[in-house]
Structures are given as C-alpha cells and as structure tokens.
Structure 1
C-alpha cells in the first residue's frame, strides 16, 4: 500500500534526527508514502540495515485551514497512553514538533504487519471470519470506550460533557474556513455544505440530543482505520487518531455502523453513498446492525436507546459532509495527501443533500410522534 513519495520530505534531516533521538531505528532509511490518509501524510520507513519497518505521520505542508486539525501531537499522546491497556494500538516511538526537520511536526510509531480493508464488507474472507472480524471491531471499540481517561493520565485530553454542542461549535469554525478555500487552478471556491445552516439548527436543539455520556472517542472509528491480524479474524491495531478526544461514545458507534445505516437509505443509494453489500442478507457472514449494537452493549454494560442511536446516525451523516468538505478544501489547495482525494471531494454536495434528506425524515417522525425523544 506504500509507493512513491507525493509530498517530499528531507530524508537526510529525518535520518539525523532518528540517529540522535530514536536509537531503536537503524539508518539509512528507505522511505515510501502510503496511498491512504486524507489528512496527515503518512510514510513507511524501512531500515536498510535490518529491514525493520516503522510509520511516520506528519502535518501537511503549507498554511493549514484550521488550528484544530492535523494535531499529530494528540495522535501521539493517545497512542502512548493506550499502550498499557487492552486496546490494540501501535507502539509510539517519538514525537518531533520541530518544523525544521521534515517541514512540519511528526511522530513515528511501530508498523503493524496485517490486513487493512478499504471495503467494510471485508471481501475475500470466509463468512465465518467476516462475522468474527466485525465482532472484534465492535468489541475493540467497547474496550476503548471502557478505558477511563484519568486511569491513563489523560483526564485533560478533552472536556467531559456537552460533546455534540462542542462539535457543532467546532464545525462552524472549520466549515467556514473550508468553504472559502479556492481551487489553485480553477479559482472556484469550495463553498458551503448544502443545507448547512438548517442542519446545525436542528442538531442544536439540546432537548433532542442523546443522553450525555463521557468516554474517550476515536473520532473516525471505522473498518479501514483498523489493522487485522495477517491470518486470524481479529483487530491488532487501531490507526488514524487525529480526531481523538473525550466525548460521546455514540459518535464512534454510529461512525462504525454507518455502512448499515446508509444501506437502508434510498437517498444514500441514489447518490452512490450506500454499499450494496450491507443490504440485509446480501453478504454471507455480515452481522446486522442490531447484532453489532448488542455486542457493543455487552462490553460497555449500558443500553443504547434506539432514539439516541437514530439521532446520532443523523449527526454522523452531517459530520461526514463537513469532513468531505475538508477533503475538498485540501484538494483545492493541493494539500490532500490521499491519491483518492479528488473522488472524495466530489462527494461533498451529494453527501450533504443526503444528510438533509435524513434529517427531514427524522422531523417527519417527530411530527408524527413516532420517536418520543426526537
């Protein structure tokens, strides 16, 4: 999955830094860049003397759209804090905040040899393994949410309440900056997410929000941010911790289960945001959304209310539209690190339309009294 370097770095500087600060890594290095990673450029470092592999994550080059994004120091801190727990993470080796080394701040972690699947339907595995791998992904999330931040010295990693309103406030700042980004070639600005104001007004009604809970949250917990064992059906590592904080656990649950949610939505199917493999009965071994929820509940020992899940599903779609707007903005500025950034950027507007359609359906349920808390 690693190939030519698309965003050059000063390898000689990096090698000197490693020689002085990370003696475990033997230089010289062979450096390649991974194709994935929408936000922070990610590199594979291979020690030429012994073949050992490591991964470096760095902030993107240039003027950044938001001070709250690309915080590689937060990624390093949470991975380092989780190492002694039963949550599978890479080993954190170093954090460098000196921009003079490779242009921006970076950290290095261990490389996990295993399987990464872009398709959450997990193609190419047996039905039995597919079910076991999804169960492992769900239970791993439950283990993560069960770690108390204070127990690993991370009580100050985020605020412990009012998560969804804080998210809305953050999105307001980030989305405004992203909308103003102008394509360096065409001169056309990215623009607003469709129905952004209407959606933020809807979600800002505190009386409809899920019961407030506070745990660690990953921020982008999904199948393609996990490494599975090379041959066995379980998770050996969680990747991409850029958006980790303390917040509401349902934000991670709904993000993981989004393929099930969108597969049941006609609007999602019409805009190409539904994976047909997740239509009920389409893929042998694939669990149902209800089964995944039950596995999660068994680990965290609290009940997920249907009304709370429905609201959080809608918020997850809204959040996804802002994330895609961010990819579109980075693509416009040619700061996007993924080879597929252009494809994702094109999905911003249809995804926003899908979010608004989903909210309208929820409002119809509200008016019809189908969901007491919605």
Structure 2
C-alpha cells in the first residue's frame, strides 16, 4: 500500500453579485431564487457521495471559493463546516480559507465566519484605484477594500490574504506601486499578485481593453516584486508572496501535487489510489441549477478520467516548478510512482540550457526558467 499525499477539500460557491468582465471562473450572478439552505444541503450530499474516495484519510486544509462565498451568511457557513466535520477527519491545525469580496464585507459577518471555524480570509481587492476598479467591473471601491482588511483584523483574523492584479488597462508602474503600498499599509500576511490576462469566453476577450505592453508589464512586475521583498513578503510561488510561516497551505498542496476532494457546482478533485497509486480526477456539473437537481447522485458528476503515466511528468512539473524552492528529487517517485529516469532527458536539456538547477537534493527553476516556465515544460512533453 502506498502512502498517499496530503488531502485538501475544495468547496465551490458559484454565485456573485455580478460577473466581472475578466472572470473565466464558474460563477453566476445571484438572484432572489438562490437558496443558501438548499445549496448547503446539496454540498453535503455531494460530499456524502465522495466520502468513499477519502476513506481513512485526514483533511489538512479546506478552501471555500467562488464566485463570492461571502454572499452566504455566517449561519450557512457554520452549518456547512459543521456538516463537513461530522463526515471527515480534520487535522487539529486545519487551515480553513474563505474567499470574500469587499463589496459584501460586514463586521458581524466576518465575526460569524471566524466563530464558524474559518481561520483565513482571502479578500479579492484587485486594485485600490477607483478608475481601475470600475474598468474591472468590481462592485467595491477603494474605501470598501481598505475597510474589509480592517474588519478582518477586528474580527480576529490574524491570517488573511489580499488579491491584487497588475497589467490593468492603461496602468502605469507608479499606479501599480501605489496599489502595493496601500496593501502593505494594511499588513496582510499573504498577497496574491498576478497579471490580468484575457481569457477565452470573457467579455474582455471579446472586447479587449488597452493593456500595457510586454516591456511595461515587465517593469511593473519587477518594481512591485522588489517592494514586496523589501517589506518581508517572500515570493514562494509565481504569483504568491507571504510573510514567514504564512504561505497558503491549501494552494501549496495543489502545487506539490497533493490530493483534494472537490464539492459544489463545477468543482474538480484529484485522488491517488493508495493500492495502485493511480491518480484519478473527477469534476461536478458546472451549472448550479443542474448541480442542485442532481447533488449526491451520479448525475451530478460532470466527468472523470485518469492521469496516464505518459502525462505524469508534465502534470507533476507544471505544479512543482511554480514554486521558488522546486521539489526534493525523491518527491517525484513518491507522488507519481515513476522512476526518476523518466525525467532525465528533459531535465538534462533544461540544466544545459540554464533553465533548471540541482541544489541540495532539490530540483528547481533558475530565475530564467521561472520566468519562461512554459518553455521549460515543453521540454518534458513526451518524457
């Protein structure tokens, strides 16, 4: 029997106040017909259906994402987490994250989430610039974003993340630095800082706004990264910065090729069979109406497949190499069941090209390799 990797639980709440023009997540504008009680019951029925996949295992992290989970009342989140705890073994030091939108932030609601067991908030700020927030279609303004961070502290959240985007329409380096400086003044423990991209099936993709050019993007990213490092936020992943000891454990599990259950409309899961080592993925139907209708029954499963051995090297590397520290060489065989020799052709080529390095028993990207990760991964296709 193999020792499976750590297990997380992802819970998807698909509704938001309105769909942002850049968003390609499975999110839907809420209306009066949305029933929190019905959806919580559906989530728990969905979990009941997945329980055999997690038999005998302990959940290390929970992430409630969306959509906008903070649309749901603290009472509903409490009922949800209580139901999860009744069904699964939870680690004593479990990390439980809930995504929140500043436009739905309320002191009493944040306090209720904390009382329900949520111990980490991720607040979707995106920018503190009023004009940029309007261009992005956000429902909050600068003051609401700042107040949401203060409310998180007052509600007892010692650990919270702020989401920021860069490369916004017509954004200058000076404007991006003001966003970072404002975020730093709020003293979050973690910052997600990532580039706005035009994803298919979004309004921005159909009607592209004027984004900064490649040179301007590079300048913005470099200047902001330097400022974050100066203030004690270490970049441990391509778009993640954290104070010491405050890295997001749930996301780390993804990047380290760990396992996770996924419940809710459109949620994805990945599980390793402890007997065979075979890795399976499955996902739920995307539309909330269909999910609510079929939750807990086979019809709620949107699809499933297995990660074939030929796909494992790239699957493993596309996650691990996002991390600044890379991975211990032994982790490859432990997570994939493959011999390290299956990595060698691509690995040797990358080392010779200065894209990957071996250091103290670890394999990691060089600075050049990290900045051109797609080029690195191409060299492992067919390994």
TM-score computed with the length of structure 2 as normaliser: 0.30
Larger strand percent: 2
